[in-house]
């Protein structure tokens, strides 16, 4: 599985960005695709995830109500719409896919994921 992330950039606080992650190779429809982020000096953390089959979503509390994850099954692509961005959202954002089906409570730990995109930098200025 290969993952290609895009869409990062520089934006002012309160602005919006849309990230995309295109998957190729042997993806499994029962597996979720998730976004993680890693700020300088911090651990990589779960942001949001979506199940390919039924569109079930999960969000970390820090982005709930501001970020929306969606999927385009025909294009094997997942988007992360980020609104009302804050300086604390500044990080490198990674998309990731596990090699096995995960229950939702297991979407959060980074070690559950096998395949990772290259990361895209989001910088939010105050």
pLDDT at residue 25, rounded to an integer: 83
For the segment 50-55, the average pLDDT, to the nearest whole number, is 90
41: pLDDT strictly greater than 90 = yes
Classify residue 15 by burial, with Cβ atoms within 10 Å: 0-12, 13-18, 19+: middle
Residues paired with 28 in a beta bridge: none
Provide the H-helix boundaries in 3-125: none
Give the pLDDT band (50/70/90) at residue 109.
very high
pLDDT at residue 81, rounded to an integer: 98
28: pLDDT strictly greater than 80 = no
Give the pLDDT band (50/70/90) at residue 100.
confident
Name, in order, each residue with C-beta under 8 angstroms of 18's C-beta and a sequence gap of 6 or more. 7, 79, 80, 81, 82
Give per-residue pLDDT as tens, 58-77: 999 999 999 999 999 889 99
Q: Are 78 and 120 in contact (CB under 8 A)?
A: no
Lowest mean pLDDT among 15-24, 28-37, 43-52, 84-93: 28-37
pLDDT at residue 52, rounded to an integer: 87
Q: Are 35 and 69 in contact (CB under 8 A)?
A: yes
For the segment 84-94, the average pLDDT, to the nearest whole number, is 98
Cα distance between residue 26 and residue 56, in whole Å? 21
Cα distance between residue 122 and residue 126, in whole Å? 13
């Amino acid at each position: 599985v290969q993952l290609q992330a895009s869409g990062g950039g520089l934006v002012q606080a309160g602005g919006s960005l849309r990230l995309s992650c295109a998957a190729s190779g042997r993806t499994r429809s029962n597996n979720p695709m998730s976004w993680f982020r890693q700020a300088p000096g911090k651990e990589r953390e779960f942001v949001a995830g979506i199940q390919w089959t039924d569109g079930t979503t999960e969000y970390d509390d820090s982005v709930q109500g501001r970020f929306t994850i969606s999927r385009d099954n025909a294009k094997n692509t997942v988007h992360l719409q980020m609104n009302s961005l804050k300086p604390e959202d500044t990080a490198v954002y990674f998309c990731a896919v596990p090699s096995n089906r995960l229950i939702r409570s297991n979407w959060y730990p980074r070690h559950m994921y096998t395949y990772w995109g290259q990361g895209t930098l989001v910088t939010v200025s105050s």
